[in-house]
Structure 1
Amino acid sequence: MTMRNGSRATLVAVCIMVAAMLIAKPELSMAQEECNTTDLSPCGPVVMSAAEPPPSPQCCSIVKQQSSQCLCEYIRNYPQYADNATKILRACGVAAPTC
């Protein structure tokens, strides 16, 4: 089976595009921040409690390390806990992000 010049040129162009995407992908993934809700597990009892116990020092420490982007993502993904999350931010001295 032989390739025509046009088919070969198309194949080469596709290979170059795929290679460029593979090279660029690490840069894109590094630019996107990874937000992991399991990082906030020490805050779980406070987030899910109607009794509103104060957040632990460990919870506040973790909340302070979160970016605004991640905090907004958590609030969007778990709107049922948004009020408690806002109370935790306030109790930990973290400004609520504008989402």
Structure 2
Amino acid sequence: MAGSKHIAAALVSIGLLVVLAMVAKSSAAGVCNPNALYPCLGAIQGARPPAPTRQCCNVVKSVDKNCMCNQLKSSSFPAQMVKNGLQLPKKCGRTDLRGFRCGRYTFPY
């Protein structure tokens, strides 16, 4: 039973990683790279995630906001991960997303 819980948790993490990673920009044209936000996975999981790493913040600072928004709106993230993900730009010092509305989400100030 415990083994199946670990497998389920790993599958959920992998699925969330793939969806989250799709928001990263891989070129000036705004194409989303499915692997770029891998360093940010730890910073969005749980009720009190650790601070984002420098590598995560470098990615967050370069993500195209429209690409990020489109992926966020089309995803099925758990509410806590959405809340944590919306906080990443602020935690990483990206100020151009303050108050940016993305469907029903708004990036914090």
- Unpaired runs of at least 5, structure 1: 1-29
Q: Quick check: 1:43–1:56 contact (8 Å CA) kept in 2?
A: yes
In the other structure, the counterpart of 1:34 is 31
Greater per-residue strand proportion:
2
CA distance change for structure 1 residues 43 and 71 in 2, over 3 Å: closer, same or farther?
same
CA distance change for structure 1 residues 40 and 74 in 2, over 3 Å: closer, same or farther?
same
TM-score by length of structure 1 reads 0.58
RMSD of aligned alpha carbons: 2.3
Q: Distance in 2 between matches of 1:78 and 1:43?
A: 17
Q: Distance in 1 between matches of 2:76 and 2:29?
A: 20
CA distance change for structure 1 residues 65 and 78 in 2, over 3 Å: closer, same or farther?
farther
The equivalences for 1:1-99 within 5 A come to 33-76=30-73, 77-80=75-78, 81-94=81-94, 95-96=97-98, 97-99=100-102
CA distance change for structure 1 residues 65 and 36 in 2, over 3 Å: closer, same or farther?
same
Greater per-residue helix proportion:
1
Matched residue type, 2:101? T
Q: Identity of aligned pairs, percent? A: 29
Q: Quick check: 1:37–1:74 contact (8 Å CA) kept in 2?
A: no
TM-score by length of structure 2 reads 0.54
- Unpaired runs of at least 5, structure 2: 1-26, 103-109
What's the CA shift string for 1:69-94, capped at 9, x where partnerless? 12102322244222111111110122
What's the CA shift string for 1:29-79, capped at 9, x where partnerless? x99631134210000011123222100011000001101112102322244
User: Which SS does the other structure have where 1:53 is aligned?
Assistant: coil
